[in-house]
Amino acid sequence: MNPRPERNWSVAVVLLAAAGAFALTMGTRQTMGLFIGPLNTATGLGLASVSLAFAFGQLWWGLTQPFAGALADKLGAGRVLLVGVLLVALGTFLTPWANSTLGLVLVIGVLSAGGAGIAGPAVLMSAVVRKVPEDKRGLATGIVNAGGSIGQFVMAPVAGVLIGGLGWSVALQVLALLVLLALPAAWVLGGRAPVGAAAGAQPLALNTGQAIRQALRDRSFLLLGTGFFVCGFHVAFLGTHLPGVVAQCGLPLQYAAWSLAMLGLFNIVGSLAMGWAVGRWRMKSLLSLVYSLRALAVAAFLLAPKTGPVMLAFAAVMGLSFLSTIPPTAGLVAKFFGVRHMATLFGVVMLTHQLGGFLGAWLGGKVFEATGSYDLIWYADIALALAAALIHLPIREAPLAPRPVPA
């Protein structure tokens, strides 16, 4: 099957399509924490079982991305994005009919989360990176990343209103229909990276498997993936269990919805600021700064009184760092290896992110069920953030020199 030729869309249209698609898929996915309580009540499965479905979704979202990236490199981003959007809509629409742990894992973990992974950052970022000049890549990826945050900011309050007005099951089906608005982006982002595209210091003869093996032998790439594992732990725990944290503090549902919205709103600021900063400072130093900020924010939250304004302020501070790790991480992958296998290699890094995400979502439910509190997870959050801040410092921020790759 021959990929469709690259279309000559303007950079603005490309950014709008990628950011809009990310807004709809990520926005829907990040509101799912609002449905944990209703799903638990309706199914009677227990918080740990419901959390397992969400945790599997975190893992599957990451597992799909290297393969989606490889297909996008080969067949074009548009076709891959089309399949991903349809799967997100299908899984979200079918969720109210799932009444077992296996059923929830299938619709939430496999269909919805898998579709979001297929239409996720690995495909979207690579589609954008190859269409903009190298000195504009940081800002471009920041804009796309901000799209996901705009989606969360808009969709979380919308989901809260829909739950209150129509019930949680109808609310899910409305969200599923809204996701389909991302389908036109598949047309705009069609095409693949040309075979002769610049590939940093890497020889263009490398195939996908060789490029992956080359990356997995590089110390800086492994350190980057390890740090991104920690990011996944933070993001998944907050996205899944922040409504539960709000409920534990005795605050009403509206604070849960608006806390998720504040995460999204301030992540817009963080993403755009990080996209601007990537072109001016070392990306590894920016990542260390982000993880240090997270550790300080969590420590301050644990010491502060748990009032509504404190909860919203905490969500705002965490939002500044929520997904702002993506532009410098994508930028480092492109700097190491160029754009020829960008979707595949960034997909590999996203997989490590989601391994952390699986633990963050699953352990959040397990720890709360065992102790009646999220405190142990918060302490782990602080320790992991400090470790990630240190892990990024030894990264060598430069294109890799060509090396022989074993067959």
Domains held by the chain: number: 1
Contact 119, 343 (CB under 8 A): no
Contact 281, 152 (CB under 8 A): no
The pLDDT of 300-319, averaged and rounded, is 88
- Hey, how many other C-beta atoms are within 10 angstroms of the C-beta on 316? 17
Contact 235, 149 (CB under 8 A): no
Chain centre to alpha carbon of residue 314: 20
The rounded mean pLDDT for the chain is 81
pLDDT of residue 131: 73
Does residue 407 form part of some domain?
A: no
HEC profile for 75-88? HCHHHHHHHHHHHH
**Quick check: helix, strand or coil at residue 323?**
coil
pLDDT of residue 166: 87
- H/E segment holding residue 223: helix 219-248
Residues ≥6 apart with Cβ < 8 Å to 190: 4, 6, 7, 76, 77, 78, 79
What is the C-alpha R_g of the chain?
A: 20
CATH number of 351's domain: 1.20.1250.20
pLDDT of residue 400: 63
pLDDT of residue 5: 46
- Using a cut of 0.85, tell me whether the model's pTM lies above it: no
Does residue 6 form part of some domain?
A: no
Of 12-26, 59-73, 122-136, highest mean pLDDT? 12-26
Does residue 399 form part of some domain?
A: no
Does residue 247 form part of some domain?
A: yes
Using the structure block, give the residue that is written with the tokens 């899984």: 91
DSSP for 153-167 reads HHHHHHHHHHHHHH-
Does residue 1 form part of some domain?
A: no
Which two tokens mark 331? 């930028």
Which of 259, 210, 235 lies closest to 407, judged by CA? 210
254 burial type by CB count under 10 A (0-12 exposed, 13-18 middle, 19+ buried) = middle
pLDDT of residue 9: 62
Does residue 92 form part of some domain?
A: yes
**Structural domain boundaries, residue 222:** 11-391
Helix axes 121-129, 137-166, angle to 10 degrees: 140
149 burial type by CB count under 10 A (0-12 exposed, 13-18 middle, 19+ buried) = buried
Helix axes 308-321, 219-248, angle to 10 degrees: 170
Residues ≥6 apart with Cβ < 8 Å to 93: 172, 173, 176, 177
DSSP for 26-71 reads HHHHHTGGGGHHHHHHHH---HHHHHHHHHHHHHHHHHHHHHHHHH
Contact 128, 14 (CB under 8 A): yes
Confidence band of 198 (pLDDT split at 50, 70, 90): very low
Does residue 5 form part of some domain?
A: no
Confidence band of 390 (pLDDT split at 50, 70, 90): very high
Which two tokens mark 176? 């599923």
The pLDDT of 108-113, averaged and rounded, is 88
Over the stretch 116-152, which tens digit does the pLDDT of each residue have?
888 887 788 777 877 777 667 777 777 887 787 788 7
CA 193 – CA 342 distance, rounded (Å): 9
Does residue 68 form part of some domain?
A: yes
